Chain A
Amino acid sequence: MSASRLGSLCALAALAAAACTKEAPSADPQAPWEAPAVAANGETENAPADLGGGALPGPARGVRRLRIDTLQAAMSKVAGNDVYGAPIIWRVNNRDGFSDLAFGKALGRPDYQTSTEESTVSNALYLKFVGDAARDICMQMAKNDMKRSDASRALFPKAPVDGTATDAQVNENLQYLVLRFLGLRVLADDSMVTNLRAVYDAGVSSVSSPNGGEITAAAEGWRGVCVTLFESPLFHND
């Protein structure tokens, strides 16, 4: 299986996994749910009157994926500017990949002529293009960061990429990126950080160091983290 197909499948599966599996209990006042008095093992037991749950709040806001306009703006904002001050965008044949001259219409941006409504659910085409955009933008971020000093970097401001980064620095940078990409402030021992650490390590080990390329092995690791975060359902949900 090619890397891109595997990536698409993986992102599709991840989106599915993001949907919570536990449904809210019914709140029908006419027919209150009664807890069974006999447990699965056949023993009789007394369940607490409200199962400890208390009153159920009303329905919350729904969750939809970003519209294409928002996705375009969000990816560019997270990516920041290049070393010349121009915003980093998904480039396809020297065009913005999200523009209508490239894949904007294919991704579903309505023009109110031939299409009047934007579907805000993910599909295979959306995932494929998001993957393309993520890989392109993340490579640009990594290459531009290689030309910057530590603090001004967008992708790895907290950890050096010359092979000298400590575990603490790597974890601090991962926390920074989770906040930058997803708007989540997580602790260093959060499972998200540890899982992303595995991505980083896989990226670092995938290229030799020194490799003579434009980006170092550590920067390759951060590029992998970048792609992962851009493909995360938490990035695409608002």
Chain B
Amino acid sequence: MKSKRRWQALCFALLAAAPSAALAEDGEQCFLHRELPVERQLRRLSIDLRGTVPDVAEYDAVAGLSALPDALLDEYLASDAFRVQMRRYHESLLWTNPNIALADVNFSLSTVNYDGSPVYFVPGAGKSALYRGGDGTHTCQNKPQDALGYDPVTGFPMTEPMGSDGVGPWFAEGWVEVHPYWEADPAKKVKVCAFDAQATETYTLPPGDPDAGTHSCDHLMATGKAKTCGCGPELSYCMPAGIVQPLVLAALREQVLRLVDEHTDGTQPYSGLLTTKRVHYNGPLAHYFRYHAQRQTLSRTQNEHQPSDGPLPELAFTDVDTWVGVDREAPHAGLITLPAFLLRFQTNRGRANRYRIAFLGQYFQPPSTKDTNCEKEGDDLTRRCVCRSCHVTLEPLAAHFGQFTEAGSMSLHDFAREYPTRKACAKGTAPQNAGWCDRYYVPVSDQTDPDLRTYRLKALQYADDEHPELEPNFEAGPADLVKADLESGRFHEVAIEHLFSYLMKREPNLDPTTSDYEGDALAKIAANFRVHDDIRQAVRDLVELPAYRRMP
């Protein structure tokens, strides 16, 4: 009973206390538009700019003041807590937290448990069958490879016959101990099946083979033909997904946030977020792009590092907290060509749409009226009924992202724009691969001779006389898209509108026919923002608006 009575008292007090504060200083009248007490102004500012409340000493420091001092605002805007708030603000705009599979069976490392200790192996059936015969489901045996030895001619690990499965006889090698790249302690080693532990870096196909020549072991195309290829030195080519993937994904997210830091702390112009060629790598990212990205099967995301992505810094995988900045080249443009953005929005249309929402404040909506004089069927969405109302605008925007692969972050800048035949297309990579061609290219019939089908990059499928804007936009890349919006001032106007909503907890009133129209005030702040290009000053201008200090 006592407990219940106590709760009833609590309830009474809570109900009574809450309105009493809101009604203070005005009899018992709850009224609007009252200016906040300076302590509540401080609390509001602290929450918005620092993400937490002030302490009692900070409240005492403003006691008796009629307004918050400028120096306090300066202190908040210069604080590390404001940097963190800007990170959250931009993440809420861009949603850049990719969650994708970075490994597949052909280079991920699984374990088999022998005598209580794990032995690593690559589970890909094709490679396993190449190593051990049978149906490709077998691993090594629980025996050190030293006990079996190596073939003096080929250098392959010696094997022992283990029996037959449904496909045929299979054999098994032993295991070896290797220091893996993901362990910082050089003395620490793990057991790995001897075939998978091979450290060879290249393999050579003999004359007469369609792909005769020397190729890298560290590539997707090395899977089916190269028995001499394993996981490379220190297992660098392979990935224990549970260990490596979370670190790489976290680093991809951090890569965006580091760019946000640079352009919101006042050291770099804010608009540089969309124009800078700068990018930051840490150990896991450098290792992933150096060794793993090019190994991903074509049906998954393609993130192979390209020359235009800039030089990868020499960092060990274990350099998780060491970040090095490098410069990229065209077609890169700020954070909208970082892997986290490209992998979060995996189609060019999705990328253009998010860009339009985040930086132009525009949303696509289907038409509310019936669409007439249009095509009811067909693949061209700029002509199809209903679809065209958005796609006429969207397709030219999406073309700006065409130099990046869809379902991946790889730049296609250095790829041939087209091949005359499918066979020539398949030879675009080595060893030749028709699947590679189908991944990036699409057959396009010649406009004068339908029997001629060239293979063109997918983003250029509709780049023809009827869609003249697509190819120029493709070649110009995202940088030109950004340039136009910076020059028009729209980028800074929309940034101010977003910041207003973030700080004021409501949309601005941009209806000029109403008495509460706020467009003029925002336009003035946006015009200044365009000149100083410093988001901290823009935030200062917004929180100094009278509306920010008032009760609703």
Contacts and interface: CB of A to CB of B under 8 A. Distances in A.
A, B bound: yes
B10 to A, nearest CB: 5
Nearest to B100: A113
A185 B10 contact: no
Contacts of B12: 195, 198
Contact of A202 (B9, B56, B59, B547): B9
Contacts of B15: 10, 13-14, 17
Contact of A232 (B18, B54, B518): B18
Contacts of B20: 190-192, 195
B5 A206 contact: yes
A183 B5 contact: no
B32 A184 contact: no
Interface in B41-76: 42-44, 47-48, 51-56, 59, 63
B243 interface: no
A29 B91 CA distance: 41
Interface in B89-116: 91-92, 95-97, 99
A202 B11 CA distance: 11
A116 to B, nearest CB: 5
A176 B88 CA distance: 32
Interface stretch (A20-28, A37-45, A90-98, A145-153): A20-28
Given A63-B505, A224-B6, A27 B515 contact: yes
B429 interface: no
Contacts of B30: 20-22
Given A22-B29, A185-B39, A62 B3 contact: no
A201 B10 CA distance: 10
B6 to A, nearest CB: 5
A78 B40 CA distance: 15
A228 interface: yes
Contacts of B92: 110, 112, 116-118
Interface in A88-137: 110-113, 116-118, 120
B550 A57 contact: yes
Nearest to A60: B550
A201 B40 CA distance: 28
A127 B30 CA distance: 24
Interface string B508-522: 010000011010000
A210 interface: no
Interface string A174-210: 0010011011111000111001101101110110000
A28 B16 CA distance: 35
B5 A17 contact: no
B552 interface: yes
Nearest to A59: B516
Given A28-B515, A112-B97, A113-B99, A199 B9 contact: yes
Contact of B18 (A14, A22, A74, A198): A14
Interface in A131-182: 176, 179-180, 182
A6 B8 contact: yes
Contact of B53 (A11, A77, A233): A77
Interface string B284-306: 00000000000000000000000
Interface string B404-419: 0000000000000000
B506 A231 contact: no
B54 to A, nearest CB: 7
A234 B9 CA distance: 18
B101 to A, nearest CB: 13
Interface residues of B, number: 66
A20 B551 CA distance: 10
B551 A228 contact: no
Contacts of A120: 505
B24 A190 contact: yes
A58 interface: yes
A179 B42 CA distance: 12
B16 to A, nearest CB: 4
Given A58-B516, A120-B505, A195-B16, A184 B37 contact: yes
A62 B552 contact: yes
Of B10, B17, B59, B88, most buried by chain A (CB within 10 Å of CB) is B17
B516 A10 contact: no
B4 A6 contact: yes
A227 interface: yes
A55 to B, nearest CB: 10
Given A7-B7, A78-B53, A112-B91, A185 B505 contact: no
A160 to B, nearest CB: 19
A185 B52 CA distance: 19
A51 interface: no
Contact of A57 (B4, B11, B17, B546): B546
Closest 5 CB pairs of A and B: A10-B11, A62-B505, A202-B9, A60-B550, A62-B506
Interface of B: 2-22, 24, 29-33, 37, 39-40, 42-44, 47-48, 51-56, 59, 63, 88, 91-92, 95-97, 99, 344, 503-506, 509, 515-516, 518, 546-552
29 contacts: A7-B11, A10-B11, A13-B11, A20-B552, A27-B515, A59-B547, A60-B550, A61-B503, A61-B547, A62-B505, A63-B505, A66-B47, A70-B52, A74-B52, A74-B53, A77-B55, A112-B92, A112-B95, A116-B92, A180-B55, A183-B37, A183-B39, A183-B40, A185-B37, A191-B17, A195-B12, A224-B9, A228-B13, A231-B14
